């Protein structure tokens, strides 16, 4: 179980710091995005997976309304009132927890605060959504602590709102849904209009390599928000041209794009082309999975990265070096950036028996091109978030 080691460490830290054991605990995994880049907030489709790394959140009730939350990795504590969880630039990591408390408190009146501790093993800045893992672990643990009903999709929305209101990132629901609805040895197929979620078998003889570049560019949040605004502008432009409802880019076909893209700002048109193409690739990817054609599925991953690089411009030199190396490495079926982009990680589709040799080759190619190593590890699609008994 991926959470066992960090749960034991977190339990000891909790008792040392707060002087008593925790009474509620939950675990939530990070995620990889396999196909469908920036399609979630465009009401499109995504194939993703929860991974075998994540975050635990432990909690126990406090006597008053004060909340104390400890980040177990850096031993930094944040304090706030459970009734007024205001964002604070001094401890930005705690804002995700405060956002969850605010979301849960919108429908429930909390009369008592809590002591909490978070600890995870997701590499920060790797594009594996450590923030969503924290949000979902905190949400489940606090539901357990306060005796609240668990609606997984509603809690995913609580996490999304925490990102919007407390972290300033206008993300979609991809990260939270992937963390909540993951399933071992399966990919998560999400329709972000109907919010229907399916688990698609990936197969036994396949896994992913996660290659962490350790790059996190400045202003990544503002760049993400700019991409979203461009997509919204494109949808509005197509609605005017097509004279029918276009709620999001999901409503625009490739043929309609070809006919009307010329009326858009060129940059806005490029962003739209990426999203429309990604939705088609996800649907094609599902068909490839169902037929067991992993080689063709991998080609869609390579095509997805190229679209991200050229049309959405959310890649970077380091990510491109890894994907180019993956194209030339025997045994790699597909590779692409994972997550919002502008740094982070590349995911590569490989057979487990070849993972070690491929990982060594990709790391060596990265070191030769960039002058420093990258971290490479095998990632297994895993079960989603859970309350820990």
**CATH assignment at residue 100:** 3.30.230.10
Q: Which of 192, 226, 261 is the last residue in one of the domains? A: 192
At which of 159, 192, 225 does a domain end? 192
In a domain, 386, yes or no: no
SS (H, E, C) the chain: CCCHHHHHHHHHHHHHHHCCCCCEEEEEEEEEEEECCCCHHHCCEEEEEEEEEEEEEEEEECCCCEEEEEECCCCEEEEEECCECCCCCCCHHHHHHHHHHHHHHCCCCCCCCEEEEEEECCCCCCCCCHHHHHHHHHHHHHHHHHCCCCCHHHHHHHHHHHHHHHHCCCCCCHHHHHHHHCCCCEEEEEECCCCEEEEEECCCCCEEEEEEEEEECCCHHHHHHHHHHHHHHHHHHHHHHHCCCCCCHHHCCHHHHHHHHHHCCHHHHHHHHHHHHHHHHHHHHHHHHHHCCHHHHHHHHHHHHHHHHHHHCCCCHHHHHHHHHHHHCCCCCEEEEECCCCEEEEEEEECHHHHHHHHHHHHHHHHHHHCCCCEEEEECCCCCCEECC
Shared domain for 238 and 335, answered yes or no, is yes
Q: What is the pTM of this model?
A: 0.91
Counting every residue, how long is the chain? 389
- The pLDDT tens digits of the residues spanning 198-231 come to 999 998 789 999 999 988 765 567 888 899 999 9
Q: Is 185 a catalytic residue?
A: no
Domain total for the chain? 2
Residues 167 and 241 occupy one common structural domain: no
Q: Are strands 114-120 and 66-71 parallel, antiparallel or unpaired?
A: parallel
What pLDDT, on a 0 to 100 scale, did the predictor assign at position 91?
94
Can you tell me the mean pLDDT for 335-356?
Answer: 92
Residues 50 and 141 placed together within one structural domain of the fold: yes
Residue 166, CA distances (Å) to 91, 230, 279 in order: 12, 23, 29
Are 186 and 218 in the same domain?
no
- Is residue 101, in this structure, part of any structural domain at all? yes
Instruction: Say yes or no: 52 and 176 in one domain.
Output: yes
% of the chain exceeding 90 in pLDDT = 87
Q: What pLDDT is recorded for position 204?
A: 77
**For 152-203, how does the pLDDT look when each residue is reduced to its tens digit (9 = 90+)?**
999 999 999 999 999 888 787 999 999 999 999 999 999 999 999 999 999 8
Judge if 216 and 117 occupy the same domain.
no
Task: Provide the terminal-to-terminal Cα distance of the chain, rounded to the nearest Å.
Answer: 14
pLDDT for residue 109 is more than 90: no
Among candidate residues 86, 84, 91, the one with its CA nearest the CA of residue 113: 84
Cα gap 313→298, rounded to integer Å: 21
Domain-located, residue 354: yes
- Which of 121-125, 140-144, 219-223 is least confident? 219-223
Q: Residue 184 is encoded by which pair of tokens?
A: 């071992």
Q: Are 277 and 254 in contact (CB under 8 A)?
A: yes
The reply to whether 138 falls in a domain is yes
Residue 385 lies in a domain: no
183 and 221 in a single domain? The answer is no
- Selected catalytic residue, list 40, 52, 175, 251: 175
**Among 262, 196, 203, 197, residue whose Cα is nearest residue 234:** 262
Average pLDDT of the residues in 330-355: 93
**pLDDT value at 277 more than 90:** yes
CA distance 254 to 281: 12
Asked, for residue 158, whether it belongs to a domain, the answer is: yes
pLDDT band at 127 (very low <50, low <70, confident <90, very high): confident
Question: What pLDDT score does 2 carry?
Answer: 55
Mean pLDDT across the chain, nearest whole number?
A: 94
> Do 61 and 159 sit in the same domain of this protein?
yes
Domain match, 216 and 162 both: no
Residues 220 and 119 in one domain: no
Where is pLDDT greater, at 319 or 224? 319
Structural domain range at position 308: 207-379
pLDDT tier for residue 1 given thresholds of 50, 70 and 90: low
Which CA distances in Å does 323 have to 122, 306, 337, 340? Answer: 22, 9, 8, 16
| Domain end marker among 192, 226, 258 | 192
**160 and 18 in a common domain:** yes
Q: Is 219 contained in some domain?
A: yes
- Asked whether residue 242 is assigned to any structural domain, the reply reads yes
User: Within its chain, how far is the Cα of 195 from the centroid?
Assistant: 16
CATH of residue 351's domain is: 3.30.70.890
pLDDT tens per residue, range 53-68 = 999 999 999 999 999 9
Residue 2 class from Cβ within 10 Å (0-12 exposed, 13-18 middle, 19+ buried)? Answer: middle
Other Cβ atoms closer than 10 A to 322: 29
pLDDT at 355: 97
Q: CA-to-CA distance for 242 and 155, rounded, in angstroms?
A: 36
Shared-domain flag, residues 219 and 168: no
Mean pLDDT of 234-257: 96
Q: For 48-55, what is the mean pLDDT?
A: 95
């Amino acid at each position: 179980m991926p959470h066992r080691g960090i749960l034991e460490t977190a339990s000891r830290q909790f008792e040392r710091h707060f002087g008593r054991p925790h009474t509620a605990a939950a675990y939530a995994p990070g995620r990889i995005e396999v196909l469908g880049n920036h399609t979630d907030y465009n009401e499109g489709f995504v194939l993703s997976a929860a991974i075998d790394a994540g975050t635990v959140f432990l909690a126990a009730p406090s006597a008053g309304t004060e909340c104390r939350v400890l980040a177990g990795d850096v031993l930094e504590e944040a304090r706030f009132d459970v009734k007024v969880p205001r964002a604070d630039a001094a401890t930005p990591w705690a804002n995700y927890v405060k956002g969850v408390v605010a979301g849960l408190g919108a429908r429930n009146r909390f009369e008592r605060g809590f002591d909490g501790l978070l600890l995870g093993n997701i590499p920060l800045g790797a594009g594996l959504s450590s923030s969503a893992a924290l949000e979902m672990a905190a949400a489940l643990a606090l539901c357990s602590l306060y005796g609240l009903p668990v609606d997984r999709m509603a809690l995913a929305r609580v996490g999304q709102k925490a990102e919007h209101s407390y972290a300033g990132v206008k993300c979609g629901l991809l990260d939270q849904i992937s963390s909540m609805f993951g399933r071992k040895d399966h990919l998560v197929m999400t329709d972000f209009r109907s919010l229907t979620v399916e688990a698609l078998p990936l197969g036994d003889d396949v896994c992913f390599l996660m290659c962490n570049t350790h790059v996190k560019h400045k202003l990544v949040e503002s760049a993400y928000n700019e991409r979203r605004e461009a997509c919204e502008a494109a949808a509005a432009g197509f609605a005017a041209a097509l004279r029918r409802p276009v709620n999001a880019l999901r409503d625009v076909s490739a043929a309609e794009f070809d006919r009307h893209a010329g009326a858009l700002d060129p940059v806005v048109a490029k962003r739209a082309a990426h999203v429309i193409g990604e939705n088609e690739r996800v649907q094609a990817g599902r068909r490839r999975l169902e037929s067991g054609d992993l080689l063709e599925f991998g080609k869609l991953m390579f095509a997805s990265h190229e679209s991200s690089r050229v049309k959405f411009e959310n890649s970077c030199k380091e990510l491109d070096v890894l994907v180019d190396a993956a194209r030339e490495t025997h045994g790699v079926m597909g590779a692409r950036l994972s997550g919002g982009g502008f740094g982070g990680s590349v995911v590569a589709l490989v057979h487990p028996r070849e993972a070690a040799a491929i990982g060594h080759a990709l790391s060596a190619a990265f070191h030769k091109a960039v002058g420093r190593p990258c971290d490479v590890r095998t990632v297994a699609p895993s079960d989603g978030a859970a309350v820990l008994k």
